[in-house]
A and B are shown apart, each in its own frame.
Chain A
Amino acid sequence: MKRKSFVAENPSILWFLAALALFTIFVTAMSEAAGIGVVSTSFIKTLGKTLCLCLIAVAMDIVWGYCGILSLGHFAFFGLGGYAIGMWLMYARTEIIVTESLSAAAIPPTPEEIHDAVATQIFGVVGTNEFPLIWAFADSLFMQLAFVILVPGLLALVFGWLAFRSRVTGVYLSILTQAMTLALSLYLFQNDSGLRGNNGLSGLQNIPYLGDVPQSMISIAFFWASALALALGYVLCAYVVSGKMGSVIRGIRDNESRVRFLGYHVESYKLFVFTLTAVIAAIAGALYYPQAGIINPAEIAPIASIYLAVWVAIGGRGRLYGAVIGAAFVSLLSSWFTGGGAPSIPLGFYTIQWTDWWLVLLGLSFVAVTLLAPQGIGGLFDLIGKKSKSEGAK
Chain B
Amino acid sequence: MLRATLLVIAFCLALPAQMATAQDSPLQTLLQSQAGEVAKPGRRSVGVVIDALVAETPEGTALFLERWQNKGVFLNETDGLFYYAQKSGDGYELFDIATDTPVGTATKDELTEIRPNGGVRRVIGGALVQFQLSDPDKERRTAALDAILRSPDASQIEPLRASIEGEPDNALRARKERLANLLTARFGASTDDRITAINALSGTIDVDSRAALNQILTKSASVAPELPQDANIARVLTVGEDISQQDAYAQLVDAGLAPERQTADTIKARLSDNIVDGRVGGIPVGQLSSEENRERAYAALAQAGTVPPLVTDETVQAAIATHAFFETYAESDAVITTAAETALSEVEARVARNQIFDVSLDAISLASIYFLAAIGLAITFGVMGVINMAHGEFIMMGAYTGYVVQQIIPDYTLSLVVALPLAFAVTFAAGVAMERLVIRWLYHRPLETLLATFGISIALQQLAKNIFGTQARPLTSPGWLDGAWVINDVVQIANIRIAIFVLALIFLGLILFVLNKTRLGLEVRAVTQNPGMAASMGINPDRINMLTFGLGSGIAGIAGVAIGLYAKVTSEMGADYIVQSFMTVVVGGVGNVWGTLAGATLIGGLQKGIEWFNPSNTLAAQTYMILFIILFIQFRPRGIVALKGRAAGD
Bound-complex Cα distance A176 to B630 (A): 7
Known: A176-B630, A362-B458. A171 touches B622 (CB 8 A): no
Q: Are B458 and A359 in contact (CB under 8 A)?
A: yes
Q: Are A179 and B275 in contact (CB under 8 A)?
A: no
Bound-complex Cα distance A364 to B453 (A): 10
Q: Are B630 and A179 in contact (CB under 8 A)?
A: yes
A182 at interface (Cβ–Cβ under 8 A)? yes
How far does the Cβ of B579 sit from chain A's closest Cβ, in whole Å?
A: 5
Q: Are A170 and B455 in contact (CB under 8 A)?
A: no
Residues of A within 8 A of B290 (CB): 110-111
How many B residues touch the partner, as a band? 35 or more
Known: A108-B289, A359-B458. A167 touches B637 (CB 8 A): yes
Q: Are A310 and B291 in contact (CB under 8 A)?
A: no
Q: Are B582 and A108 in contact (CB under 8 A)?
A: no
B586 at interface (Cβ–Cβ under 8 A)? yes
Q: Are A363 and B289 in contact (CB under 8 A)?
A: no
Bound-complex Cα distance A166 to B636 (A): 9
Q: Are B291 and A112 in contact (CB under 8 A)?
A: yes
B153 at interface (Cβ–Cβ under 8 A)? no
Of the candidate stretches A22-30, A42-50, A281-289, A366-374, the one touching chain B is A366-374
How far does the Cβ of A315 sit from chain B's closest Cβ, in whole Å?
A: 13
Q: Are B272 and A105 in contact (CB under 8 A)?
A: yes
Residues of B within 8 A of A171 (CB): 387, 446-447, 450
Contact with B along A159-193 (1 / 0, CB 8 A): 10011011110111011101110110011011000
Closest to B624 in A: A183
Residue in A108, A162, A187, A357 whose CB lies within 8 Å of B462:
A357
How far does the Cβ of A90 sit from chain B's closest Cβ, in whole Å?
A: 22
Known: A175-B586, A176-B630. A371 touches B442 (CB 8 A): yes
Bound-complex Cα distance A310 to B450 (A): 11
Known: A176-B630, A179-B626. A310 touches B455 (CB 8 A): yes
Residues of A within 8 A of B622 (CB): 183, 186
Residues of A within 8 A of B619 (CB): 186-187, 189-190
Q: In this complex, which of B448, B455, B579 has the most chain A Cβ atoms within 10 angstroms of its Cβ? A: B455
A313 at interface (Cβ–Cβ under 8 A)? yes
Q: Are A367 and B446 in contact (CB under 8 A)?
A: no
How far does the Cβ of B487 sit from chain A's closest Cβ, in whole Å?
A: 33
Bound-complex Cα distance A112 to B442 (A): 62
Residue in B285, B294, B456, B634 whose CB lies within 8 Å of A166:
B634
Q: Which of B461-482 contact A (CB under 8 A)?
A: 461-463, 465-466
Q: Which of B46-103 contact A (CB under 8 A)?
A: none
Q: Are A360 and B451 in contact (CB under 8 A)?
A: no
Q: Are B582 and A310 in contact (CB under 8 A)?
A: no
How far does the Cβ of B582 sit from chain A's closest Cβ, in whole Å?
A: 5
How many A residues touch the partner, as a band? 35 or more
Bound-complex Cα distance A362 to B465 (A): 15
Q: Which of A227-245 contact B (CB under 8 A)?
A: none
Residues of A within 8 A of B272 (CB): 105-107
B441 at interface (Cβ–Cβ under 8 A)? yes
B286 at interface (Cβ–Cβ under 8 A)? yes
Bound-complex Cα distance A367 to B268 (A): 67
Q: Are B456 and A186 in contact (CB under 8 A)?
A: no
Bound-complex Cα distance A340 to B457 (A): 23
How far does the Cβ of A156 sit from chain B's closest Cβ, in whole Å?
A: 14
Known: A107-B272, A371-B452. A170 touches B447 (CB 8 A): yes
How far does the Cβ of B620 sit from chain A's closest Cβ, in whole Å?
A: 6
Q: Are A109 and B637 in contact (CB under 8 A)?
A: no
Contact with A along B289-315 (1 / 0, CB 8 A): 111001000000000000000000000
Q: Are A367 and B452 in contact (CB under 8 A)?
A: yes
Residue in B264, B280, B463, B626 whose CB lies within 8 Å of A186:
B626
Bound-complex Cα distance A165 to B285 (A): 64
Q: Which of A294-318 contact B (CB under 8 A)?
A: 302-303, 306, 309-310, 313
Q: Are B264 and A182 in contact (CB under 8 A)?
A: no
Closest to B447 in A: A70
B629 at interface (Cβ–Cβ under 8 A)? yes
Closest to B454 in A: A306
How far does the Cβ of B640 sit from chain A's closest Cβ, in whole Å?
A: 14
Q: Are B466 and A360 in contact (CB under 8 A)?
A: yes
B520 at interface (Cβ–Cβ under 8 A)? no
A9 at interface (Cβ–Cβ under 8 A)? no
Known: A107-B285, A364-B459. A183 touches B623 (CB 8 A): yes
Bound-complex Cα distance A166 to B583 (A): 17
A113 at interface (Cβ–Cβ under 8 A)? yes
A356 at interface (Cβ–Cβ under 8 A)? yes
B317 at interface (Cβ–Cβ under 8 A)? no
Residues of B within 8 A of A310 (CB): 451, 454-455
Residues of A within 8 A of B268 (CB): 107
Known: A302-B579, A367-B455, A371-B441. A174 touches B447 (CB 8 A): yes
How far does the Cβ of B265 sit from chain A's closest Cβ, in whole Å?
A: 10
B484 at interface (Cβ–Cβ under 8 A)? no
Q: Which of B569-611 contact A (CB under 8 A)?
A: 575, 579, 582-583, 586
Bound-complex Cα distance A306 to B447 (A): 12
Bound-complex Cα distance A275 to B290 (A): 45
Q: Are A187 and B620 in contact (CB under 8 A)?
A: yes
Known: A110-B290, A172-B637. A179 touches B629 (CB 8 A): yes
B271 at interface (Cβ–Cβ under 8 A)? yes
Closest to B288 in A: A107
Q: Are B461 and A359 in contact (CB under 8 A)?
A: yes
Q: Are A168 and B451 in contact (CB under 8 A)?
A: no
How far does the Cβ of B103 sit from chain A's closest Cβ, in whole Å?
A: 69
Residue in B289, B442, B452, B466 whose CB lies within 8 Å of A366:
B452
B334 at interface (Cβ–Cβ under 8 A)? no
Q: Are B620 and A190 in contact (CB under 8 A)?
A: yes
Q: Are B623 and A186 in contact (CB under 8 A)?
A: yes
Bound-complex Cα distance A112 to B267 (A): 15
How far does the Cβ of A162 sit from chain B's closest Cβ, in whole Å?
A: 5
Q: Are A360 and B450 in contact (CB under 8 A)?
A: no
Residues of B within 8 A of A367 (CB): 438, 452, 455-456, 459
Q: Are B289 and A162 in contact (CB under 8 A)?
A: no
Residue in B446, B466, B579 whose CB lies within 8 Å of A179:
B579
B617 at interface (Cβ–Cβ under 8 A)? yes
Q: Are A182 and B579 in contact (CB under 8 A)?
A: yes
How far does the Cβ of B280 sit from chain A's closest Cβ, in whole Å?
A: 8
B17 at interface (Cβ–Cβ under 8 A)? no
B514 at interface (Cβ–Cβ under 8 A)? no
Closest to A306 in B: B454
Residues of B within 8 A of A166 (CB): 633-635, 637
Bound-complex Cα distance A108 to B290 (A): 9
Q: Are B438 and A371 in contact (CB under 8 A)?
A: yes
Q: Are B285 and A366 in contact (CB under 8 A)?
A: no
20 A-B pairs besides A107-B275, A367-B455 with CB distance below 8 A are: A113-B264, A166-B634, A172-B586, A172-B633, A179-B626, A179-B630, A190-B620, A190-B623, A306-B389, A310-B451, A360-B458, A363-B457, A363-B459, A364-B456, A366-B451, A366-B454, A366-B455, A370-B442, A370-B455, A374-B445
- The contact sample of 30 A-B pairs, CB cut-off 8 A, is A108-B288, A110-B289, A111-B289, A165-B634, A171-B387, A172-B633, A172-B637, A174-B387, A175-B582, A176-B586, A179-B579, A179-B626, A183-B626, A186-B619, A186-B623, A187-B623, A356-B465, A359-B458, A359-B462, A360-B463, A362-B455, A363-B457, A363-B458, A363-B462, A364-B459, A366-B455, A367-B438, A367-B459, A370-B455, A374-B445
Q: Which positions in A face B, CB cutoff 8 Å? A: 70, 105-113, 159, 162-163, 165-168, 170-172, 174-176, 178-180, 182-183, 186-187, 189-190, 302-303, 306, 309-310, 313, 356-360, 362-367, 370-371, 374
Q: Which positions in B face A, CB cutoff 8 Å? A: 264, 268, 271-272, 275, 280, 285-286, 288-291, 294, 387, 389, 438, 441-442, 445-448, 450-452, 454-463, 465-466, 575, 579, 582-583, 586, 617, 619-620, 622-623, 626-627, 629-631, 633-635, 637
Q: Which 5 A-B residue pairings sit nearest by Cβ, starting from the closest?
A: A363-B459, A366-B455, A359-B462, A183-B626, A106-B272
